[in-house]
Amino acid sequence: MNLILLGPPGAGKGTQAKRLEERYGLRQLATGDMLRAERASGSALGQRVQVIMDRGELVSDDIMIALIAQSIDAERDDKGFVLDGFPRTLPQAQALDQMLGERGLKLDCVIEMTVDEAALVDRISGRFSCAHCGASFHARFNPPKVVFNPPKVAGVCDFCGSHDFKQRADDTAETVRTRLAAYRAQTAPILPYYRAKGLLRPVDGMAAPDDVTKAIERVIAAPVKAGG
Ligand code: AMP
């Protein structure tokens, strides 16, 4: 099963992709994570994309298409993959179709995580993760407006006990606005492309994370059954 999770930054794609990885053994291919790993390694690619990412703009299609082709080929098995953060432009979507076709693969479903954009800036600028195990949390941000998922004990990771947390460099309110604008201008036009192919399935991304997971599981059960 090969899936795409599509939606603006902060829609919960990363959280849900991880759950799909655990539940179905799908490989999570998260282009943002790949780019952050390149940056952390100090590679030439990492240095090239650093400024673009920190501004909240999109990295060029050429780089992204090469990166995703590499990771699809890196490790192929019959369980499939879940794309998180790719494609983000129409040329990326078209290149993906071509690259899957050349490899005898196909997409089963494109899950559109619908969100209330007004809530996203607070949602994203309040998020942080454990520097040790990567678990995600949300601070109470701009109280009383937004209450999310803080650690049970302030300053201590629920999962590994670490006291070390980090925030993404591009999760500031100003950069989030640029990222949302990039989504509207460059990524949203992909939706009709997949709708026309009959692959698009909307899911309410504003629901509680467990409810979003259940909704996604229901959605993907249908094409899987239909396809045998
Ligand atoms: P994400 O972690 O998916 O929010 O991605 C973080 C940043 O990485 C984005 O704001 C872009 O600068 C860059 N990026 C990730 N995926 C793509 C993509 N498919 N196309 C262009 N830029 C991307």
Looking at residue 228, its pLDDT comes to: 38
Looking at residue 227, its pLDDT comes to: 43
Contact 114, 7 (CB under 8 A): yes
> Tokens representing 170?
């591009």
Residues with CB under 6 A from ligand 1: 9, 31-32, 35, 52-53, 56-59, 64, 85-86, 88, 92, 170, 179
88 is a catalytic site residue: yes
Q: Give the mean model confidence (pLDDT) for residues 51-77.
A: 92
123 is a catalytic site residue: no
How much distance in Å is there from the Cα of 154 to the middle of ligand 1?
Answer: 30
Query: Which residues on neighbouring strands pair with residue 27, listed in sequence order?
Result: 81
> Tokens representing 152?
């049970």
How much distance in Å is there from the Cα of 31 to the middle of ligand 1?
Answer: 6
Residue 163 neighbours by CB under 8 Å, 6+ apart: 155, 156, 157
Average pLDDT over all residues of the chain: 90
How much distance in Å is there from the Cα of 152 to the middle of ligand 1?
Answer: 30
79 is a catalytic site residue: no
Looking at residue 223, its pLDDT comes to: 55
Could you tell me the pLDDT band of residue 142, with boundaries at 50, 70 and 90? Answer: low
> Tokens representing 128?
């942080």
Counting from 1 in the atom list of ligand 1, the atom nearest the Cα of 179 is 10
Residue 16 has pLDDT above 70, yes or no: yes
Taking the C-alpha atoms of 56, 61, 66 and 72 in order, what is their torsion angle to the nearest 10 degrees?
80
55 is a catalytic site residue: no
Catalytic-labelled residue, pool 19, 36, 88, 201: 88
Neighbours of 221 (CB within 10 A): 10
Q: What is the pLDDT of residues 174-205, one digit of tens each?
A: 898 999 999 999 999 999 999 999 999 999 99
197 is a catalytic site residue: no
The pTM for the full model equals 0.88
